[in-house]
Structure 1
Amino acid sequence: MAGLVRMQGRVGRPLLIALIVIVIVGVLGYAYASPYVALERLIRAADSRDVQTVDEYVDYPALRESLKLQVTGLLTRRLDVQHNGNPLAAIGAMIGVALIGPLVDAYATPDGVAALLNGMPPRGEPGERPPAPPAAPADGATARPPAPGSGPGAANGQTPPQPPQTTAGYRGVNEFVVSYQHGVGDTRYSAIFRRNGLFMWKLSAVDLNG
């Protein structure tokens, strides 16, 4: 009987070690894949305007602050280029500052998140807003927002831009970056996710400089 117990112990110990290793590898694998999972879930939720799920994956206070800084920088660079002795530059600056608040308010929403994740960042234009939710298809499938330049605003004979080229990857242990570019030489921008716990990630910032 004692020999049988010892044999079971010898057999059971390697099995237990193997199970522990499998669990550890599985946890590490899911931890590594977790930002990709969060990105996919957020895209689906934003496209379908599932507000509750979008709220789970977006840090709105951090995103608003980032949008404010990025749009301010965008307008500042634009005014610097346009200044060159232009007496209307001061007026343009005041108008630009007035645009920042409404633009940030418009993009720190599920509609704005959908635009950011579909290659349509804010451009700092007067009255700019993210595209409205698309009409639901007859078959019930989720439709993605139109590409920038498509729809009624593109009725000028120009070819609508193609979907952006997208790359995604870690930029540090706690930061995951999704970069968008519509073509070679075009300006890139990035959506930045930050870790919130071991497996949770939230969209927290944008980088309009790429």
Structure 2
Amino acid sequence: MNRKLLTGGLIALIAAFLVAYFASPVLAVRGLTEAARSGDEAALRERVDFPAFRASLKEELNGELVARMRADPRSDNPVLSGLGMLLAPSLVSGMVDAFVTPGAIATMVRSARAPDPMHRPDQVETPERAAEDKDTVRQSWAYRDLNTFAVTLTNSRHPDQHLALLMERRGLFDWKLAGIDLTAPSEDDAI
């Protein structure tokens, strides 16, 4: 009888550990979302690895900017195109360093919009836009690997635009926002 009780207790303990291990990113995402909606900058600072997030955002925006420059029909002058591609990373880097604050993270979470490297004015959040976006942002969650969990945000008014925030595991149960993916989600991203 003691052996069955010990085995049952061990199985229950392992099951509880596995549930906590795999459910912990969902709780971290909910904490991040609540902090963003309430504007709690201290809670956002705790939930975001700002150096890693800035590096990831710079990489994504540089890639998007280079793709736009290559696709621009006016870029038929190779010297100017090359100069633009050479200067673009430093411009994006400065913008990201100045832009990525707890308030900016909150805006991205509430609106499902990433900053645009071309500084389109329609991406500035106003109180009216924040109120409109509150009920239009949908979330989907997926593991990318055991240590990376993606929460994909989609604004129902712009269903073709996706913003994937990448949470990374820090220890067994702790997660921090450490990256961003501006590409459209694919079925291959989830495991």
Number of the residue aligned with 1:113: 105
Residues 35-54 of structure 1: pairs in structure 2 closer than 5 A: 35-54=25-44
Number of the residue aligned with 1:4: none
Deviation at 1:16, TM superposition (A): 3.0
Q: Which runs of 5+ in 2 are unaligned?
A: 185-191
Q: Answer yes or no: is 1:32 the counterpart of 2:22.
A: yes
Residues 11-160 of structure 1: pairs in structure 2 closer than 5 A: 12-82=2-72, 83-85=74-76, 89=81, 96-97=88-89, 99-118=91-110, 119-126=112-119, 131=125, 145-147=130-132
Size of the aligned set, in residue pairs, is 179
Deviation at 1:195, TM superposition (A): 0.8
| 1:112-170 alpha-carbon deviations (Å, 9 max, x no partner) | 211232302112133878637x59xxxxxxxx93456x9xxxxxxxxxxx824432111
Match for 2:145 among 172, 175, 185?
172
Number of the residue aligned with 2:154: 181
Separation in structure 2 between the aligned mates of residue 98 and residue 27 of structure 1, nearest angstrom: 45
For the structure 1 residues 200 and 49, does the alpha-carbon distance in structure 2 shift closer, same or farther, using more than 3 Å as the test? Answer: same
Q: TM-score, normalised by structure 1?
A: 0.70
DSSP 3-state at the match of 1:20: helix
For the structure 1 residues 200 and 20, does the alpha-carbon distance in structure 2 shift closer, same or farther, using more than 3 Å as the test? Answer: same
Larger radius of gyration: 1
> For the aligned residues, what is the CA RMSD?
3.2
Structure number with greater CO (CA < 8 Å, separation at least 6) is 2
Deviation at 1:19, TM superposition (A): 2.3
| 1:169-199 alpha-carbon deviations (Å, 9 max, x no partner) | 1111111111233468723331111111111
Letter of the 1:110 partner, please give it.
P
* More helix per residue: 2
CA contact (8 A) 1:106 1:112 kept: no
DSSP 3-state at the match of 1:85: coil
Q: Which runs of 5+ in 1 are unaligned?
A: 1-9, 136-143, 151-161
For the structure 1 residues 107 and 27, does the alpha-carbon distance in structure 2 shift closer, same or farther, using more than 3 Å as the test? Answer: farther
Separation in structure 1 between the aligned mates of residue 40 and residue 124 of structure 2, nearest angstrom: 16
Letter of the 1:202 partner, please give it.
K
Letter of the 2:76 partner, please give it.
G
CA contact (8 A) 2:150 2:167 kept: yes
For the structure 1 residues 130 and 17, does the alpha-carbon distance in structure 2 shift closer, same or farther, using more than 3 Å as the test? Answer: farther
Number of the residue aligned with 2:174: 200
